[in-house]
């Protein structure tokens, strides 16, 4: 067997090819070492030693947080109020810059990206759900879900079909023409989830997505969300105070005093 180390690039990546000339099998393995994290090729998002300092209050909210989320992995982010869950999600979602550290989305380091490149990456790869639905009141459920598709240059007919399909999957087939004011809290949050999933993101970032719903509705909405997501290879980071929900996820992390710990 002949082993050839092809390259060692400045990011710290080893690309190793093993050639087996006799039976013409070629195996290529890519190992990338980033600080504490061994980044694998199926990582969707990697936070590497992320710190966040707010100078206004001189507070260090994140103290070198590292997290790797792989394809199909659903991560629950737990922690007391003010511990930095939203801050972490904003950074992971390219809505805020870290003070230090690196964020990789599908192996791409986002540090050097321009604002336009970040917007484009956000639109194509990331989906967001917030505690409050943020639906546009003057648009129907269907139109709210169509919007990110239209922004992403999907044709109107295809966007309508995709939006209707997603709403149906989330149990809102009969409500596609309803306006947000005509929907219950749980239904509005389902529309917000459908909107976040519209562009088939590789990762869903959800900040207490059922925080405004009663316990029973929250559990039903989350079960439906997980069912829809499990049909794809999508991964998710979901900030929550709901331990019952966290138990349904593939991994649980707790953040406290700026430090993230796997539970």
Ligand X SMILES: Nc1ncnc2c1ncn2[C@@H]1O[C@H](COP(=O)(O)OP(=O)(O)OP(=O)(O)O)[C@@H](O)[C@H]1O
Residues that bind ligand X (CB under 6 A): 54, 56-57, 59, 61, 79, 81-87
Partner interacting with residue 61 (select from Mg ion, ligand X, none; CB below 5-8 Å by kind): ligand X
Q: Does position 102 bind Mg ion by CB under 5 A?
A: no
Q: How far apart are CA 131 and CA 221, in angstroms?
A: 13
CB 172 within 8 A of CB 187: yes
Query: Residue from 32, 43, 86, 187 that binds Mg ion (CB under 5 A)?
Result: 86
Element (H, E) at 227: helix 215-230
Q: How far apart are CA 88 and CA 184, in angstroms?
A: 29
Q: Does position 240 bind Mg ion by CB under 5 A?
A: no
Partner interacting with residue 32 (select from ligand X, Mg ion, none; CB below 5-8 Å by kind): none
What is the gyration radius of the CA atoms in the chain, in angstroms? 20
Size of the site for Mg ion (CB under 5 A): 2
Q: How far apart are CA 194 and CA 175, in angstroms?
A: 13
- Name the CA dihedral angle for 63, 99, 69, 125, rounded to a multiple of 10 degrees: 160
In the bound complex, what is the minimum distance in angstroms from residue 241's beta carbon to ligand X?
7
Handedness of CA 114, 155, 221, 251 (dihedral sign): negative
Partner interacting with residue 65 (select from ligand X, Mg ion, none; CB below 5-8 Å by kind): none
Q: Does position 87 bind Mg ion by CB under 5 A?
A: no
Q: Which stretch binds Mg ion (CB under 5 A): 15-23, 78-86, 151-159, 244-252?
A: 78-86
In the bound complex, what is the minimum distance in angstroms from residue 139's beta carbon to ligand X?
27
Looking at beta carbons only, is 43 or 86 nearer to Mg ion? 86
Residues in contact with Mg ion by CB under 5 A are 85-86
């Amino acid at each position: 067997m002949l082993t050839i180390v092809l390259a060692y690039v400045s990011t710290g990546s080893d690309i190793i090819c093993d050639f087996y000339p006799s039976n013409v099998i070629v195996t290529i393995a890519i190992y990338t070492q980033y600080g504490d994290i061994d980044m694998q090729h199926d990582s969707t998002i990697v936070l590497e030693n992320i710190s966040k300092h707010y100078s206004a209050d001189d507070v260090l909210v994140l103290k070198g947080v590292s997290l790797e989320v792989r394809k199909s992995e659903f991560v629950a982010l737990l922690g007391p109020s003010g511990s930095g869950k939203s801050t972490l999600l904003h950074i992971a979602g390219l809505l805020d810059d870290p003070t230090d550290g690196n964020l990789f989305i599908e192996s791409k380091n986002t540090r050097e990206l321009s604002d336009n490149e970040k917007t484009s990456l956000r639109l194509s790869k990331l989906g967001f759900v917030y505690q409050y639905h943020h639906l546009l009141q003057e648009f129907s459920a269907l139109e709210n879900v169509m919007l990110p598709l239209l922004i992403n240059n999907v044709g109107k007919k295809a966007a309508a079909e995709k939006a209707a399909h997603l709403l149906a999957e989330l149990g809102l087939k009969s409500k596609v023409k309803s306006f947000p004011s005509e929907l219950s809290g749980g239904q509005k949050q389902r529309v917000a989830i459908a909107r976040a999933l519209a562009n088939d993101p590789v990762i869903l970032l959800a900040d207490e997505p059922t925080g405004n719903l009663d316990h029973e509705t929250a559990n039903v909405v989350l079960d439906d969300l997980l069912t829809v997501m499990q049909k794809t290879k999508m991964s998710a980071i979901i900030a929550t105070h709901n331990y019952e929900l966290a138990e349904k996820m593939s991994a649980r992390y707790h953040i406290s005093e700026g430090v993230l710990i796997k539970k």
